[in-house]
Each structure stands twice: as C-alpha cells, then as structure tokens.
C-alpha cells in the first residue's frame, strides 16, 4: 500500500514538473535615464546633470546637452540608470538594445561588458558575469558615439541629403531574464498552399550535453483561440551548446494575412527553463516569373504605397518625441492606408521596431531598405564606404534578417538605395538562403541577383528640366508621356539594366515625379527651377500645392495604367521639412506634422490616383483649337481579385459647370485593364477648362482630372 501511494505521488510530481515552465521575464528599461557628454571615449563621467527619455536621440536631453542645430562629431554620450533583480541566481540576464547609434559600449557596475559597432541592428549583451554579487542594485551605463568616428568597415548610414547624424538610443532597451535551455532565435515559415507552418528555433543549453523537450502552442492573436500545439525533442549539435528545433505543424483552417485582412497568430515555444513568444502571419510574398508581378499568397498583388525616411525625419525641427509615440505612429500608418496605400518603403534606414509591429497589425507591406546609399556612379560604394567588404556587409544583413524575418509586413529585403556596385550583390548571395520564406530582394541600381528579385526604378521624369532643359512647344505633358515608357533603373542612364533582366524582373518604382514642396508651400532646393520654368503661373503656396498634387496624380495614373510597374511608391510619406540654411532637397505632403494633416489638394488628387480600381485620361496636348473634335482615351484598371462593374463618366466643365457629359458602361475582370475611346467637341470659347473622368468604387467617387486650354 505504501509503495502504491509513493508511486502515486511520484507520478503526480513528475507530471507537474513536466508541465511547469519558468516563464521568461522581460523588463523594459525604457524611460528616464541620466545622460552626460564627453569629448571622446575616455573614463566614465563622474557627473550626470541631465535627464533623457529612452528611446530617443541625444538632442532630447533636459537640460540640453545638445541642440537640434548641433553638428555631431567626436563626442560620446553616456546614458546611466540602475536596475534591480529579485533573484541574483537567475542563469540568463541578457541586455537587448534594439537599435542605437553610433557605436555602442555597455558598462555594468563600472566594468566594460562589451561593444557593438553596428548601428541599425540589435545589440545583445550577457550581463550575468557583471552583476553585483552582494546587492540586487546594478548600475548600467550605455555610451554611444558619433558617426564620424565609426570604423570604415561598417555601414554608416550615408545620406547625401542629410546634414547631421544625431546619435542616441533610438529603439527599445530591455532585460531578458530566463533559465537554460534558452531560446535565442525563432524563424517561422508559412506554407499557405498546404496550410502548414514550419518553425526553426535555436536553443542554447548550459552545458551543451543534454537534449530537452520543447513544447509549442499557436493561438490566434486577437481571440486567443488555440489552433495548434505539441512537443518534440531538439537536434543536438555535437561539441557546442547549441540545439536546433525544426518542425512543421498543421494550420488547416487558418486565415491568411493580407493588408486588407491582417490576421495574426502568436507562437509560444517553451523549454524547461524558458519560453519565447513570436508573432507571425500566414502569408507568402514572391515573384511571378511569367508576368513580372508580385504574388501575395500566390495571387497577383500590386504594391501601391509611399516612403518613410525616418533618419531624415530625425532632423526635422518638429520631430520631438513623435517617432516614439505609439499613438502618433499608429495614426501615421492609418493615414497612409487612408490614401489607398498598401505598402511602404522604409527608406535608407529602419524606424524603431514598434513601427513594424504596427504595420503587421494594421496591414501594410514593407520594403525594408538597409541604409546604404552611395550614388549611381560605378565604384561609389568603395569611395564612400571605403574598406567594407561583402562578407562584412553580410554580417550586418544577417543581424537585420534575424530580427525581422517573422514580421508578415516585411515583404522585400532591400539591400541598398540608388547605388551601383558589386559589394551588395555578393553580400545578398551570402545570406539570402537563410530566409526560408525566400522573400525577393532589391539591389538598388545594381543588377538584381535573381530572376525572382525586384528592380528598383526612380523614374523622375521632371528631372530633365532641373538639368537645364525647357519644355517643348507642345508642352511638358507631351514631352513626358507621349512615349509609353518602361521604368528604368536610373533616370540619368548611368546604370542601364542588365540584358535579359529588364523585362522579366518586377519593377518597383519607389520614387518618382520630382515636384517636392515644403510644408509651407515653398519649393525645395531641387524644385526651384521646375516651378519657375514649368509652372510660372503657380505663384501662391496654394497654387503650388495644387500643381504638385495634380502632377503626382498624373504620374501615378500613368505608371499604373500601362502596367509597367509591379509596385509604385510615392516619395515621400514622411521625411524632413527644412526651410532654413542649408535648405532641404525633399519633403513630405503634410501641413501639420504633429496632427498628421495632409495638404488638402494632395488628398483630393493623389488619393483617387491610388484607388484599387483606377482610371487615367490620356490627354497630353498643351492646347486645343476651339470647336475641334478629339478622341479621349480613358484607361480603367482593376488591381483586385474581384470583378468591377459600373459606368465611366466623362465630363467637360468650366467654373464648376458641366458643358458636356458622357457615360459608358464597363465590366472589368479581376486584374484587367480596358480603354474606352470617348470623343468630345472642344468648347468654342477660348479659355481654361477641365476634363474629368469618374467611376464609383464601393460608394466612393474616383476621378482623374486634366486641365485644357482652348486658344
């Protein structure tokens, strides 16, 4: 009897041990830190007389140790705070700094823990050996330097249109407290055809000698409903403390992630000493080799979007703490979606990680661009980045990918911007197989590395007028649009596309137009001549805003109607506005950045130009003869997987009064483009008129506009 009772308790005890999981503890170190400045990397300062919010930039300190007008050279900025631990015997105490710049050193209790020269990927440090043995209070110091003192073997974030590079801890800081076996990285690989999920996890053991059981559970993020669970044993790698889990689980009945339906799941992996949560979406993103289009979940999908230049916005005089305000960032992405955008290029650098979480939850596809920009001249990379090699660059690429590869929003790895070199391509080849979801890559103006990669095009058609050319007698629209153009790599023809790739790789025109205005309606340093020569009648700020918006809309309709782009991204959804000296080259289209108020003309003209079912009036003539009869082709294009049925209305009006109205019924199959050939009689009276084409899309009016001059 005693043996039976003893056996009963042993079974219960062993069962409870198997079910017991020591949950990972995440301690946020965001908040108020102390900060001090030294002229170089010397001894730790003895006085810290200012406070600063983390995450942020060093110009946010109070009292100020630097102003927003500072030039950042040579200095080192020292952040200090303390933390306490309840259990000093906990085996794993890991510090994670999501991102900080430029060059990061970590000290704990006055001892150097380590350093990281990378500036756009996470820093990870093991703090356990440096903890105070006799006290649970620990003093943590993080020092960051300036860009000019970086070693020339790492990416420095060069941007020809920036004037300063503000240092700081610009992303979250946290402690990860756990036991062994410790889950160090997880990669999720959705298979939407077979409704399965592959999971690969790296697990660190304390001794490297014993395997451990790993369990998993997958839940719907919003409802918490369990959709899969199980347990398995990892594969032990002999001679190391690294174990690897690689399994596939059934996801039958799953909801697929799309920008229109951003459905998310949570994966929790657990060992006897740790657990790790990863959010993912069941989605794939690839290239159709037959059509040079992108495939979202194996169906054609057109990218319509914008750009965010977060490091330029860091220089904006009104930036403040906005990039770290989750309500503001969420509203920004919602405003983008209101413009009919389903995608964003995070351009020449990465925002805080929270931005990706917001894009996941709201439904926006991200072209994630590594901060390399060395220009269109062959060999520019070697001149600006000096001694960096493809192997060294691949290490930075790998850290970037490991941090980001579970985000369903991340659709395209973008290795660089507007550069022609061999280094980035070789680095891409070294790392691309590590992303088991096999996302496409973009290699800037260098040759794509695969026929399943994207070509980056910046068809700045107005650029020719910036270089001294004047419009012909037939007008600028005739100059720019009378020839059906295929977007090229480089509008200056410095880097022609490789033979055989131009017509088979999908093209993302992620910059175009060249008509930037500051938020007050003044021209930028790159657009002074454009407005002076092409649009001399646009004198007031309102007139310039309307001119800008109308022409962005025309360019947008043009590239969409002729289906020469798999993706089209307006430049720029968020950047700087710099009206002082030196003036800025570009800007965004907000008039109030804090309230995120778009310029009204931009919404009126550009929003419909990005509608999923859109249209374009093909009229490029500068002027027309009174009473003449002309043909007006109206292109109507459908970018969704549904049939569109309705009528196309074409109106000619003046001073708000319709002079003629025509309607034609139309049915568009999914992804179809059709052209309706209207004929109209030009007014007899000389003057300025407008032609307007209109359709209805889900109860909303969608219009294309053209201005006419009768003379």
* Domain CATH number, residue 276: 2.60.40.10
Name the percent of the chain lying above pLDDT 90. Answer: 79
Task: Tell me what pLDDT residue 489 has.
Answer: 42
Domain boundary among 178, 198, 227: 178
Residue 173: which CATH number?
Answer: 2.60.120.260
Tell me, yes or no, whether 247 and 375 share the same domain.
no
Per-residue tokens: 48: 């810290």
Instruction: Convert the pLDDT of each residue in 619-629 to its tens digit.
Output: 999 899 999 99
**pLDDT band for position 15 (50/70/90)?**
very low
Over range 535-554, report the average pLDDT. 97
Does residue 4 have a pLDDT over 50?
no
| Domains in the chain, number | 4
Instruction: Convert the pLDDT of each residue in 88-97 to its tens digit.
Output: 789 999 999 9
Task: Tell me what pLDDT residue 213 has.
Answer: 87
Listing DSSP states for 226-289 in one string gives EEEEEEE-PEE-TTSSEEEEEEEEE-TTPPBPBTTB---EEEEEE-SS-EEEEEE-B--EEEET
d(CA 293, CA 200): 29
Over range 601-609, report the average pLDDT. 98
Residue 107 domain-assigned (yes or no)? yes
φ and ψ at residue 305, rounded to 5 degrees: -165, -155
Domain boundary among 163, 178, 193: 178
322 and 593 Cβ atoms separated by less than 8 Å? yes
Tell me, yes or no, whether 364 and 419 share the same domain.
yes
**pLDDT band for position 679 (50/70/90)?**
very high
Tell me, yes or no, whether 465 and 421 share the same domain.
yes
Tell me, yes or no, whether 446 and 577 share the same domain.
yes
Tell me, yes or no, whether 493 and 375 share the same domain.
yes
Residue 330 domain-assigned (yes or no)? yes
Tell me, yes or no, whether 433 and 558 share the same domain.
yes
Tell me, yes or no, whether 565 and 482 share the same domain.
yes
Over range 434-446, report the average pLDDT. 95
Does residue 378 have a pLDDT over 80?
no
pTM of the model as a whole = 0.94
Task: Tell me what pLDDT residue 208 has.
Answer: 57
Count of alpha carbons within 13 angstroms of residue 206, beta-carbon side: 11
Task: Tell me what pLDDT residue 10 has.
Answer: 34
Tell me, yes or no, whether 489 and 361 share the same domain.
yes
Task: Tell me what pLDDT residue 615 has.
Answer: 97
* Least confident piece of the model among 4-8, 542-546, 647-651: 4-8
The helix-helix angle for 353-362 and 326-338 (nearest 10°) equals: 40
Tell me, yes or no, whether 341 and 267 share the same domain.
no
DSSP annotation of 90 reads -
Residue 372 domain-assigned (yes or no)? yes
Instruction: Convert the pLDDT of each residue in 450-480 to its tens digit.
Output: 989 998 999 999 998 988 889 998 899 999 9
Tell me, yes or no, whether 597 and 682 share the same domain.
no
Sequence-distant (≥ 6) Cβ neighbours of residue 223 within 8 angstroms: none
Q: Pick the closest to residue 110 from 145, 90, 76, 138 (CA basis).
A: 138
Tell me, yes or no, whether 341 and 245 share the same domain.
no
Over range 39-58, report the average pLDDT. 95
Task: Tell me what pLDDT residue 486 has.
Answer: 62
Decide: residue 390, CB within 10 A, 0-12 exposed, 13-18 middle, 19+ buried. Answer: middle
Domain boundary among 128, 152, 178: 178
Over range 569-584, report the average pLDDT. 95
367 and 414 Cβ atoms separated by less than 8 Å? yes
* Least confident piece of the model among 137-141, 194-198, 497-501: 497-501
Instruction: Convert the pLDDT of each residue in 50-98 to its tens digit.
Output: 999 999 999 999 999 987 677 899 999 999 999 999 887 899 999 999 9
Q: Mean pLDDT score of the chain, rounded to an integer?
A: 91
Task: Tell me what pLDDT residue 196 has.
Answer: 98
Residue 1 domain-assigned (yes or no)? no
Element (H, E) at 183: strand 182-191
Task: Tell me what pLDDT residue 87 has.
Answer: 82
Residue 4 domain-assigned (yes or no)? no
Sequence-distant (≥ 6) Cβ neighbours of residue 231 within 8 angstroms: 213, 214, 215, 216
More confident residue, 383 or 319: 319
Residue 84 domain-assigned (yes or no)? yes
Q: How many residues does the chain have?
A: 711
Tell me, yes or no, whether 533 and 422 share the same domain.
yes
Residue 5 domain-assigned (yes or no)? no
Does residue 20 have a pLDDT over 80?
no
Range of the domain at 652: 615-710
């Amino acid at each position: 009897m005693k043996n039976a009772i003893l056996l009963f308790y042993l079974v219960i005890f062993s069962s409870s041990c198997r079910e017991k999981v020591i949950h990972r503890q995440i301690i946020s170190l965001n908040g108020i830190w102390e900060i001090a400045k030294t002229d170089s990397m010397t001894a730790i300062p003895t006085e810290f007389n200012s406070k600063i919010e983390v995450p942020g930039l060093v110009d946010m300190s109070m009292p100020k140790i630097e102003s927003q007008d500072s030039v950042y050279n040579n200095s080192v900025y020292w952040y200090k705070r303390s933390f306490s631990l309840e259990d000093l015997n906990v085996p794993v105490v890991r510090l994670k700094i999501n991102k900080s710049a430029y060059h990061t050193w970590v000290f704990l209790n006055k001892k150097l823990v380590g350093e990281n020269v990378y500036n756009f990927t996470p820093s990870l440090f093991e703090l356990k050996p440096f903890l105070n043995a006799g006290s649970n209070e620990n003093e943590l110091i993080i020092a960051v330097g300036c860009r000019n003192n970086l070693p020339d073997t790492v990416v420095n974030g060069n941007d020809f249109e920036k004037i300063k590079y503000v240092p700081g801890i610009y992303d979250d800081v946290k402690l990860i407290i756990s036991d062994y076996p410790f889950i160090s990285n997880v990669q999720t690989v959705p298979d939407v055809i077979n409704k399965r999920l592959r999971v690969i996890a790296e697990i660190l053991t304390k001794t490297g000698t014993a395997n451990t059981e790993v369990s998993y559970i997958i839940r719907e993020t919003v409802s918490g409903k369990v959709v899969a669970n199980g347990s398995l044993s990892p594969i032990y790698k002999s001679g190391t403390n690294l174990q690897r889990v690689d399994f596939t689980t059934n996801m039958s009945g799953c909801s697929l992630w799309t920008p229109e339906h951003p459905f998310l799941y949570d994966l929790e992996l657990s060992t006897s000493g740790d657990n790790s949560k990863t959010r993912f979406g069941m989605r794939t993103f690839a290239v159709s080799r037959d059509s040079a289009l992108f495939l979202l979940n194996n169906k054609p999908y057109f990218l319509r979007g914008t750009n965010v230049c977060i490091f330029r916005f860091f220089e904006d005089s009104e930036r403040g703490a906005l990039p770290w305000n989750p309500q503001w960032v969420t509203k920004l992405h919602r405003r983008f979606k209101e413009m009919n955008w389903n995608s964003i290029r995070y351009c020449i650098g990465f925002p805080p990680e929270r931005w990706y979480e917001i894009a996941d939850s709201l439904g926006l596809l991200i072209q994630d661009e590594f901060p390399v920009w060395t220009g269109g001249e062959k060999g520019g990379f070697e001149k600006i980045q000096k001694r960096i090699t493809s192997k060294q660059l691949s290490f930075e690429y790998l850290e970037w990918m490991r941090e980001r590869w579970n985000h369903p929003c991340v659709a395209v790895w973008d290795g660089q911007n507007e550069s022609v070199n061999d280094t980035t391509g070789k680095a891409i080849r070294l790392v691309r197989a590590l992303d088991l979801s096999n996302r496409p890559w973009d290699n800037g103006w260098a040759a794509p590395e695969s026929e399943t990669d994207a070509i980056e095009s910046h068809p700045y058609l107005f650029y020719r007028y910036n270089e001294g050319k004047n419009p012909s007698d037939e007008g600028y629209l005739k100059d720019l649009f009378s020839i059906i153009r295929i977007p090229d790599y480089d509008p200056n023809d410095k880097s022609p596309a490789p033979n055989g790739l131009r017509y088979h790789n999908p093209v993302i025109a992620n910059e175009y137009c060249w008509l930037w205005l500051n938020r007050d309606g003044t021209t930028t340093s790159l657009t002074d001549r454009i407005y002076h020569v092409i649009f001399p009648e646009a004198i007031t700020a309102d007139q310039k805003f309307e001119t800008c918006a109308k022409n962005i809309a025309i360019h947008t309709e043009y590239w969409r109607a002729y289906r020469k782009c798999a993706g089209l991204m307006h430049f720029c959804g968020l950047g700087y506005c710099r009206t002082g000296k030196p003036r800025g080259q570009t800007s965004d289209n907000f008039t109030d950045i804090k309230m995120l108020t778009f310029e009204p003309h931009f919404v009126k003209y550009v929003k419909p130009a990005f509608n999923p079912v859109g249209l374009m009036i093909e009229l490029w003539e500068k002027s027309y003869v009174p009473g003449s009869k002309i043909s007006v082709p109206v292109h109507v294009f459908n970018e969704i997987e549904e049939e569109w049925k309705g009528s196309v209305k074409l109106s000619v009006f003046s001073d708000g009064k319709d002079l003629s109205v025509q309607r034609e019924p139309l049915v568009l199959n999914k992804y179809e483009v059709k052209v309706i050939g209207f004929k109209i009689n030009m007014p007899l009276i000389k003057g300025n008129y407008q032609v307007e084409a209109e359709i209805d899309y889900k109860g909303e009016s969608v219009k294309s506009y053209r201005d006419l001059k009768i003379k």
